[in-house]
A and B are shown apart, each in its own frame.
Chain A
Amino acid sequence: MSPDHFADHLLNTQSYLDGELTGAEAAEAERHLQTCAECQAFAATAADVSDALRKAPRYTAPAPLRAAVLARLDKEPVRFSPRSFWLGAAGGAGASALAAGFTLMLMLPPSIATLTQSVADAHARALTSGHAIMVASSNHHTVKPWLAAHAGLSPPVTDFADAGFTLTGGRLDEVAGRTAAVITYAHGNHEVDLFAWPDRGAGLPESGMALGFRTAFWKSGDMDFAAVSDMDQAAFRKFVMLARSQRE
């Protein structure tokens, strides 16, 4: 058995031992195991490891940690939900006015309310999916061409490590249904996303909060920019100032 490659029959035996197979597949794997010395040796290895790990501790969350988690949740703002707000607002309107409203919304470029929600959604999605960074690099000479090639966009990319915001990479994302380039930064344990997409002449929202993230929007050159992060306000302002001041 080569150390880096496991034959299919070994992996199949492993699946059987892990309870991943049922019915005819399990019966077949059991038969194979009875006759295959290699698989028997592997089964012994797996059993040894399982035995050893069975004695390993299963850690449980200490009480102070549980309390700390709850205390941090207490500090989270009660969320304003834009969707329910609009439904509520439209509730009293006549059907035709409602229909006209929707048509108007479809024709308009992403509305101001949608944009704030949309960049916060994209940021939250990226943080929880594990795909926050598609090209990992602290070198703007790597990130910029990657974004140009994948997003067709070429926003300025600057590392602000000296000011405490380290360039970590970039990714391709979608904001209000359109492609956006995202440049990612780290500030301590906080992640910052800098979104960029072509300016289509639409208005931009005021700075604000959505999903617990701070958001800021601005225009520069022929692009719209948005910064999103859960940093504190002072750090967030500092980042926005740095990002706004960069030039091609």
Chain B
Amino acid sequence: MDDRRRRFEAQALPHLDAAYNLARWLSRSPADADDIVQDAMLRAFRAFDGFRGGDVRAWLLTIVRNCWLSAGRAKQRRGHTVLEDSIVDAGPDPEETAIQTGHARRLEAMIARLPDDFREVLILRELQDLSYREIAEITGAPIGTVMSRLARARTMLREFVKEGA
């Protein structure tokens, strides 16, 4: 095993769960999350020499987010409607049906209703526990924008929860 592979396994691979969690929440589909993460890990590995230190997790999540965006663009080009297939196809995945209680499923559908820009900051903050600075780095948005999107996402989601209750 060469040195790069060893460093990659030691530094980046421990964040595979974080990468999958983000991909899973952004794409709302286990199959898409699989593809996105494989794609992201491969790109991260190829670009690993160019990684100049710093926060590996934030760097990796940035790549995951970009892979999710390009997967979305590829789907649109093929004429898929991303929103529909993911909500309908919350899917008979045996591993998931156990975890996916009615509550989680409803919550996921509500989060899915948020516009992408708002949804991703909410996921990064609430489900990945990232700081504003890290979220700004990952999404490429200024911190002020992250803050207002987050506030907007929370207000919207609260409305959805109220409606659904």
Contacts and interface: CB of A to CB of B under 8 A. Distances in A.
Do these two chains interact?
Answer: yes
Interface residues of B, number: 65
Interface string A128-157: 111110000000000000000000000000
B7 interface: no
Contact of B42 (A4, A61, A72): A72
A78 B5 CA distance: 9
A66 interface: yes
Contacts of B34: 62, 65, 68
B44 A128 contact: yes
A168 B37 CA distance: 22
By DSSP majority rule, is chain B's interface helix, strand, loop, or mixed? helix
Contacts, number: 155
B2 interface: yes
A191 B104 CA distance: 35
Contacts of A238: none
27 contacts: A5-B148, A6-B148, A18-B150, A49-B122, A49-B154, A49-B157, A49-B158, A53-B122, A56-B108, A56-B111, A57-B99, A60-B20, A61-B19, A79-B49, A124-B43, A124-B50, A125-B50, A127-B43, A128-B43, A129-B62, A130-B140, A186-B73, A189-B74, A191-B70, A211-B46, A211-B47, A212-B46
Interface of B: 2, 4-5, 8, 13, 16-17, 19-21, 24-25, 30, 33-35, 37-39, 41-47, 49-50, 59, 62-63, 65-66, 69-71, 73-74, 77, 95, 99-100, 103-104, 107-108, 111, 122, 125-127, 131-132, 140, 144, 147-148, 150-152, 154-155, 157-158, 161
